[in-house]
Amino acid sequence: MEKLPKVEGRENAELRLIRLLKERGVEDPKAKKLLANWTQRQEGKVKKSSDPATAAIKLNLRKARLYFAAGYEGEALESFEAARMQTWNEQREELYQTIMAEMNELE
């Protein structure tokens, strides 16, 4: 099995989560817990951000890319869709077009 790179002597949390999702699946209790913890930490950063709307969009994009890297295209597309709708609601046309282009590449 291919080992994922480590960051600063320990595995990056996102890479660890991707590895765990690939190995065990999204329904595995350990994977679910790690995903929930990661999401909670990221949502805390969104709340503390000086621009929570942009931070929330970026979080959904990170989550989408994480799911896609782990092989969960349906979940990835749901997160991309959430980010797309957020950019639409925030009237951020350039970011909206960037997300649309990335989504089209995945489909």
Q: pLDDT 10s digit of each residue in the chain, 107 long? A: 444 444 444 568 889 999 999 999 989 999 999 999 999 999 999 999 999 999 999 999 999 999 999 999 999 999 999 999 999 999 999 999 999 999 888 87
CB 106 within 8 A of CB 78: no
pLDDT given for residue 11 in this prediction: 62
| Among 49, 53, 52, residue whose Cα is nearest residue 89 | 53
Residue ranges of the alpha helices (H) in 1-107?
13-24, 29-48, 52-70, 73-89, 93-106
For residue 44, give the 3-state DSSP assignment: helix
